[in-house]
Amino acid sequence: MSITPFTLKVLEQCKITLPPNETTTTSFLPLTFFDIPWLFFSPSQPLFFYEFPHPTSHFTATIVPKLKQSLSHTLQHYYHFVGTFFPSSDLTKPPLICIDDMSVALTIAESNGDFFHFCSNYPRDLKDFHLLVPKLASSFSLEGKEELILVLAIQITLFPNVGLCIGHAFHHVVADGRTFHNFFNTWASYCCSFGSASSAFPLKSLPLYDRSVIIDVKGLEEVFLKEWRKRRLVHDIAIGREPNLEDVSGMVRATFLMSATEMEKIKCFIINFCKEKNQTQPVHLSPYVLTCAFVWVCLLKNQQCLNERVKHEDPTYFGFIAGGITRLDYLGPKTYLGNCVGFGRASVKIKELLGQDGIVVAARAIGSTIKKLDSSLFDGAEKWILDWEVFHGSEQHVHAKWSPKLKLYELDFGWGRPKKIEEISIGYTRVVSLIQSRDVECGIEIGLALPKSKMDTFFILFTKGLSVLPCDPLINFS
C-alpha cells in the first residue's frame, strides 16, 4: 500500500559540535577484532516516530534548539561518533577511527506526509520512508590517497501539528547496538533535563573507551584483517555504501506482532510434539527463540507457496547477533564503547523446516546455537566472516537485527514514548528486525520487508499459523 507522493522541505542543515568548553583534539581509536566484521555491513537506519501535536513555529523555536543542545552535550561522552573512518590505504594496518572536524551532520526538515501511515503495521511502500532517512556521506578520496567515511548522521522531520520523526544512519563499525542504545538514551535524558530545575543531567555511568579491556585470546584480529584485505582488493565493501533505491522497487514493509500468548502456543506445540514423538525437547525455548523459529519457517514456506525453486537438500541458515559482554571468559565492563558481540548461525536442511515439525527443528537449531555461544563465544569465530557471507543477496537464508532486550520504546525526549520504530535498512537484505512491543507486554514486534506478492503470502502464513497452532502436535500449520 502506498500513499499520495509527499514532499520534504529542508529547513536547516547544520553540524553539531561538542560543547564550547570541550577540547577538540585529534585522536585515533584502533578497531578491535570485534569491530572488523562490521566492515562488511551497510549502515543501520532506524526511524523513531513520536506524536507531536504542535506547529512548525513551536518546533523550530523551542524543540530544535533543545535537541541541538542536548545532542552536543551527549557527543562529549560519545565523541568518536563525530569522527570519520579511515580505511587503511596500504591494507597493512587495522583501520582507525579518526576524530577530525568533531561534528555530526544534522538535518531539520518538514514533511506533508501522512504521519499515521508511517506508524501503521500494514504493508507500506518501502520507498515512502527514504526521504526520512539521513544521508550518510559515502567514501571519498583525500588527496588521492585515503577514503573518509562519516559514521553517524541524524535527520529530524516534523509532520506539522501531528508528529515528528528522528532518523539515524550509522555504521556499526564504531559500536554495537548496545552502545548506540546507550547513546540514544543519553541524548533523550539530556533533552528532558534542559529547562528543568536540575542544572544538568547526571549520567549514571560514562562510556569506557579503553580498548585494552578487549582481549584477543584467539588471534582473531589478523584472521579478520586477512579477510578484509582479500575482499577489499576484489570489490567494494559494504561500509560507506548506501543502497540504490532501484533495488527496493516494489518492496513493502510491514510489522507483525508476536504476543506472549502466541509464544506460549508455539512453546506448547513444540513440547507436546516432542513428547508425542519421544524426542528430546529443544534446550532453549525463550521468547526470542520461539519468535525467530516461527518467522524462519514462515519465510521458507513463503518461498514454497510461490513456487520458487527450492532445493530441499540445501541448507538454510538463520543468523543473529549475540551480546558478548556477558559471554566473555573474563569480566567485561558493561559501559564499554565499541563492539562486543558474537555471530550466531543456525543451520538445517530446507526440507526439515518444510516438514510437520519445522518449528521444532528451527527452535532446536537456534536454541542450540545460542547455548553454544553461551558456553564458548569464540568457538568457530575464525569463520564468522565466511559464515555470514552467505546471507548477502540470498533468498533462502535469514538473519535478525536488533534485540527486544534493548527497550527502544522507552526512549522519551520529553513528549512521550515513540509511536512507532522502523529499521529501514532491512529492506535491502533478507533481514528481520526484532524489538520489544510498544503496547503488548512481553510482546515482540517483527519488522519485515518483501516484494508485495510475497508479503501478502507471508501475512497469510503468519496469521493462519498462529491461529491453528493448538497444543496438538498432529496439526500442521502449513
Q: What is the mean pLDDT of residues 142-158?
A: 76
Residue 3 included in any domain: no
Q: What is the mean pLDDT of residues 110-127?
A: 96
Indicate if 212 and 361 belong to the same structural domain. no
Q: What are the beta bridge partners of residue 429?
A: none
Q: What are the beta bridge partners of residue 168?
A: 154
Catalytic status, residue 312: no
**Whether residue 205 has pLDDT greater than 80:** no
Work out whether strand 251-258 and strand 444-451 pair parallel, antiparallel, or are unpaired: antiparallel
Residue 473 included in any domain: no
Cell numbers describing residue 436: 520489544
Q: How many structural domains does the chain have? A: 2
Indicate if 125 and 261 belong to the same structural domain. no
Instruction: Give the range of the structural domain holding residue 163, as residue numbers without chain letter.
Output: 8-246
Indicate if 257 and 238 belong to the same structural domain. no
Indicate if 241 and 254 belong to the same structural domain. no
Are 366 and 292 contacting, i.e. CB atoms less than 8 angstroms apart?
yes
**238: which residues sit within 8 A by CB, 6+ positions away?**
39, 40, 41, 42
* Mean model confidence pLDDT for the chain: 87
Indicate if 99 and 113 belong to the same structural domain. yes
Indicate if 148 and 56 belong to the same structural domain. yes
pLDDT band at 243 (very low <50, low <70, confident <90, very high): low
**24: which residues sit within 8 A by CB, 6+ positions away?**
17, 18, 99, 102
Give the separation between CA 356 and CA 370, rounded to whole angstroms: 24
Residue 180 included in any domain: yes
Cell numbers describing residue 51: 506524536
Amino acid 408: pLDDT: 96
Residue 121 included in any domain: yes
Show which of 246, 276, 302 is a domain's final residue.
246
Residue 476 included in any domain: no
Catalytic status, residue 172: yes
What's CA 40's distance to the chain center, in Å?
14
Please state which of the ranges 51-65, 197-211, 300-314, 436-450 shows the lowest mean pLDDT: 197-211
**Whether residue 164 has pLDDT greater than 70:** yes
Give the separation between CA 444 and CA 264, rounded to whole angstroms: 13
Indicate if 260 and 345 belong to the same structural domain. yes
Q: What is the mean pLDDT of residues 260-268?
A: 95
Indicate if 194 and 300 belong to the same structural domain. no
Q: pLDDT by residue (tens digit) across 357-415?
A: 999 999 999 999 999 999 999 999 999 998 988 887 778 899 999 999 999 999 999 99
Amino acid 473: pLDDT: 42
Q: What is the mean pLDDT of residues 278-283?
A: 93
Share of the chain above pLDDT 70, in %: 84
Residue 440 included in any domain: yes
**Whether residue 85 has pLDDT greater than 90:** no
Q: What are phi and psi of 343, to 5 degrees?
A: -105, 120
Which is more confident, 111 or 234? 111
Indicate if 301 and 215 belong to the same structural domain. no
Q: What are phi and psi of 49, to 5 degrees?
A: -100, 135
Of 77, 172, 181, 397, which is the active-site residue? 172
Show which of 226, 246, 266 is a domain's final residue.
246
Q: pLDDT by residue (tens digit) across 294-310?
A: 999 999 999 888 766 67
Q: What are the beta bridge partners of residue 124?
A: 253
Are 106 and 208 contacting, i.e. CB atoms less than 8 angstroms apart?
no
Give the separation between CA 385 and CA 377, rounded to whole angstroms: 15
pLDDT band at 145 (very low <50, low <70, confident <90, very high): very low
Q: Which CATH number fits the domain that encloses residue 98?
A: 3.30.559.10
Q: For residue 119, give the nearest of 154, 87, 165, 74 by alpha carbon.
A: 165
pLDDT band at 71 (very low <50, low <70, confident <90, very high): very high
Show which of 246, 266, 292 is a domain's final residue.
246
Indicate if 46 and 146 belong to the same structural domain. yes
Amino acid 140: pLDDT: 46
**Whether residue 222 has pLDDT greater than 50:** yes
Indicate if 237 and 268 belong to the same structural domain. no
Q: What is the mean pLDDT of residues 240-269?
A: 84
For the range 101-105, what are the long-range contacts, defined as Cβ-Cβ under 8 Å and sequence gap of 24 or more?
101/15, 102/17, 102/18, 102/24, 103/15, 103/16, 103/17, 104/15, 104/16, 104/71, 104/75, 104/152, 104/153, 104/154, 105/13, 105/14, 105/15, 105/134, 105/135, 105/137, 105/150, 105/153, 105/154
**Whether residue 238 has pLDDT greater than 70:** no
Q: pLDDT by residue (tens digit) across 437-472?
A: 999 999 999 999 999 999 999 999 999 999 887 654
Q: What is the mean pLDDT of residues 250-257?
A: 94
Residue 472 included in any domain: no
- For 227-266, b where at least 16 C-beta lie within 10 A, e where not — what string? bbeebbeeeebbbbebbeeeebeebbbbbbbbbeebbebb
Amino acid 475: pLDDT: 41
Q: What is the mean pLDDT of residues 219-235?
A: 81
Which H/E stretch holds residue 320?
strand 315-323
Of 216, 387, 412, 456, which is the active-site residue? 412
Give residue 378's identity as a one-letter amino acid code.
F
Indicate if 126 and 141 belong to the same structural domain. yes
Residue 309 included in any domain: yes
Counting DSSP H helices and E strands in the chain, the numbers are 11, 18
The residue whose grid cell reads 515482540 is 444
